[in-house]
Amino acid sequence: MTSLLDAPPTSRPRTVARLALGAALAYAGVSHLTFAREEFSAQVPGWFPVDDDPVVVVSGIVEIGLGTALLAWARGRVPVGWVVAAFFVAIFPGNIAQYVEGNDGFGLDTDTKRLVRLFFQPLLVVWALWATAAWRDRPRR
């Protein structure tokens, strides 16, 4: 029996994980543009040189695009996996700022909850890389 770590790039577990991540990203992107706009504004760092609303809108559009790519572009899974992982790294300062600045959002209304959330961001990076087999199938020199 093949372990999850050794699973082929298009195995059922990887495919389900890729589709689930794609759906979650697309949903989050739509929520940026609609009902959760204010909550996402809480994650824009106070030091960021752009107003909150355009940042939330652009990041929502990016998330919809990334989610759609994960859902529809199985052949491009490796570059998409790297871009999604990089996106999760790029937005991490917003999560740190939410903790440092003590901004409430998405039920994260205590320092403990905001701190615990920080530990989930690396899991999203791993999820993106594993679900797309991007790390496994990366170009090697």
**Is residue 5 included in any domain, yes or no?**
no
Q: What is the pLDDT of residue 120?
A: 96
**Is residue 17 included in any domain, yes or no?**
no
**Is residue 72 included in any domain, yes or no?**
yes
**Is residue 95 included in any domain, yes or no?**
yes
Extract the tokens encoding 79. Answer: 């570059």
Number of domains within the chain: 1
Residue numbers of the domain that contains 64: 24-131
pTM higher than 0.85 for the full model? yes
Extract the tokens encoding 82. Answer: 């790297």
Backbone torsions φ then ψ of 87, nearest 5 degrees? -60, -45
Q: What is the DSSP string of 22-71?
A: HHHHHHHHHHHHTTTHHHHHTTS-TT-SS-HHHHHHHHHHHHHHHHHHHH
Would the pLDDT of 84 be above 70? yes
**Is residue 16 included in any domain, yes or no?**
no
Beta carbons within 10 angstroms of residue 104's beta carbon: 13
Alpha-carbon span 108 to 42, nearest angstrom: 10
Q: pLDDT tens digits, residue range 4-21? A: 566 777 789 999 999 999
**Is residue 3 included in any domain, yes or no?**
no
Alpha-carbon span 99 to 103, nearest angstrom: 7
**Is residue 68 included in any domain, yes or no?**
yes
138 pLDDT tier (thresholds 50, 70, 90): confident
**Is residue 136 included in any domain, yes or no?**
no
Task: Quote the mean pLDDT of the chain.
Answer: 92
